[in-house]
Chain A
């Protein structure tokens, strides 16, 4: 009996050894939908064609932190590469669940020789995080509201002006971004990123941001999800609404809805990118790092923008952004990172949110209920 068991164990090792020695399959975790599709088109399909490596997709990014925790506890890590938002990447890195990446040795330099660390710049918000795209939370506005008398909001603070721009506003239900806008518009001068976060660190500042929202609370619709906002705008249930810029792009450009327009002012930038799980077996780790080097080079990041309206994270990719693969329209004007759109932006301060999230969330929820 004992012998039989040992034999079984040994053969298992042999079999798994054989699989590890030659990596011909990788499990990549992403968000599904149009976004995952853009990654397949720009990254994995060309790579498969070159190397013959197969990619298995797991649409678990929204639960990546919890699932990776479970995998790490059980010691059986089945994922090779995980697409997460920056806040989750920081958390996974903090918890030791993500591998530390050295951008200058492990990622490709820009075509002009600029090292990756400089090409990505500030967007490397954690030593485990490999930035991929910049997306933003911003506003869509109806342009056919009779009561506005032909005027269109030009600043994000017009959201709080219900005299000039009456009507309902849809917002996402979380404190994130909304607190930034509240704080930003409660100030009459020094409206910049640094002062917004400095303000939100104090009780008084948090209250001021909430008071801003209180002033229009009767006109707010709290969307259940990011996908709700375009629907509400299209139905005319609200006259303005904030959601991810890609959702609004899908409504306006892909859906052909021409009575909704973008407002880019004070859009809040957020990042999405890759992390590699910590403690992968050496062969798998080597294979995935090779893929990452390919998938995050300047051309590949620019390629992804053909399929989705999120800005490439490398500065060197911006000039290469071309046309939409199916619609044939120029993608540059729809990118949150386009110079015309990014005149005034706020970049989410991840360290701030890591510190104050629990506290501010509680206040935000309490404000919603009261």
Chain B
């Protein structure tokens, strides 16, 4: 039989320690509680609410719940309109909706996917209040008398598709498709643009990341290897734009790049005095992808330089010296010894710049024209006009970033990334 260790007040030691630990854990939790609450309210909840909004179809179920459920149970067969029971239920619920002035909202909702329905619902709402519900005539005839569209099988097939409680319609649209009674269908060429915007956003973000790396790496090296005074000066020069408003920096690029801007005016002037050196035609530097790449590279450069710099600071110069003394030439010493030590900083900088630029909004909107807008510009405009679609686009962007993050972790390893 083992002796149970007890503390002075006679309680088992095990329990006492547990209690003390519990208290200190609670205290720790209390300390981070404000942050935790902020994190949940300000970050986790909005993400889930956006995810929910992208599939939620509650407008239909709020206004015509019975009709919507009946439509879901209705077996679709080609060219058939729904049975009288559905028409009757639709009439009853539409009358209630019209009396509460909610029919228009339903029309606006369906109109997002079936063009032309908004006015049909508005008209139906006006007329339905005058219908005689007790005269024994089939409701289907009443609907068709009010507008022929209610007798069209294709419309009802579409209504069934868009009356599901949780809908994939927004995601279908986010990838340039639409839902049909037969399933998913890609939209015709002249209506596709969202996928192109996604591809453009990702491509340009990669380009921007690579350019910031090419420009930022030497600067970071310089900062890590010159005298402290010079390094501080360089650091201030890197940070100064960082402290300037984003809008101001973007607008200044516009002043520089536009057709009558500083650069083109200078070339124009050069062309007049030294025609053999300068070409005269104004170059199109503004309102295109070039402008976006230039402006965003400038704005995001510090995010690349700082992580690389902080890693380079910690690399002892003796490593490279050792390599050189053992017969490596400059290139080998850099590539085989120094560079691998900076990879963690590059990884951190690249991830920062890439993820920031994927979600960039203001700069593309101002300098991008139509060639250079990003998917976030569409998300912003849809969040005003069509929340479901905006939410679906935002979710899709989130998924894409998560997948890229996963791939990065798989091939580079997130634990190899150093952020400080």
Contact = CB atoms under 8 A, between A and B. Distances in A.
B259 to A, nearest CB: 6
B190 interface: yes
Given A95-B102, A96-B100, A221 B115 contact: no
Contacts of B116: 355-356
Interface stretch (A112-120, A310-318, A360-368): A360-368
Nearest to B195: A369
Contact of A354 (B108, B259, B369): B108
B267 to A, nearest CB: 16
Contacts of A355: 111, 115-119
Contacts of B370: 173, 222, 368-369
Interface string A46-61: 0000000000000000
B260 A368 contact: no
Contact of B119 (A351, A358, A363): A351
B196 interface: yes
Interface in A54-109: 63, 66, 91, 93-96
B369 A222 contact: yes
Contacts of A94: 101, 103-105, 107-108, 118, 122
Contacts of A368: 193, 370
B378 interface: yes
A348 to B, nearest CB: 15
A237 interface: yes
B54 interface: no
Interface residues of A, number: 34
Interface in B115-137: 115-119, 122
B112 interface: yes
B386 interface: yes
B404 to A, nearest CB: 23
A95 B119 contact: no
B195 to A, nearest CB: 10
B328 interface: no
Contacts of A63: 384
B101 A363 contact: no
A354 B105 contact: no
A358 B365 CA distance: 21
B108 A95 contact: yes
A224 B105 CA distance: 30
Contact of B369 (A221, A356, A359): A221
A370 interface: yes
A357 to B, nearest CB: 8
A366 B108 contact: no
A66 B384 contact: yes
B138 to A, nearest CB: 28
A207 interface: yes
Contacts of B111: 354-355, 357-358
B67 interface: no
Chain A interface secondary structure, helix, strand, loop or mixed? helix
B191 A362 contact: yes
Contacts of A91: 104, 108
A58 B100 CA distance: 28
Interface string A319-361: 0000000000000000000000000000000010011111101
A222 B364 CA distance: 12
A224 B193 contact: no
A221 B287 CA distance: 7
A96 B115 contact: no
B369 A237 contact: no
Contacts of A235: 258, 260
B323 interface: no
Given A354-B108, A355-B119, A369-B197, A224 B191 contact: no
Interface in B262-292: 287
A299 B384 CA distance: 36
Contact of A222 (B100, B259, B287, B384): B287
A240 to B, nearest CB: 15
Interface string A160-197: 00000000100001000000000000000000000000
Nearest to B107: A94
B119 A365 contact: no
B64 to A, nearest CB: 15
A153 interface: no
Interface in B189-208: 190-193, 196-197
Given A367-B190, A368-B370, A358 B112 contact: yes
Nearest to A354: B118
A359 B117 CA distance: 12
Contacts of B118: 94, 354-355
Contacts of B122: 94, 351, 354
Nearest to B259: A237
A168 B288 CA distance: 14
B102 A365 contact: no
B366 interface: yes
Contacts of B103: 94
Nearest to A352: B119
B191 A96 contact: no
B104 to A, nearest CB: 2
A354 B193 contact: no
B260 A354 contact: no
B115 A354 contact: no
A356 B115 contact: yes
Contacts of B102: 95-96
Given A222-B369, A355-B115, A358-B111, A96 B105 contact: yes
A81 B63 CA distance: 27
Closest 8 CB pairs of A and B: A94-B104, A96-B101, A359-B115, A366-B193, A369-B193, A368-B370, A95-B105, A354-B118
9 contacts: A94-B122, A95-B104, A221-B287, A221-B369, A237-B259, A354-B118, A365-B193, A366-B191, A366-B192
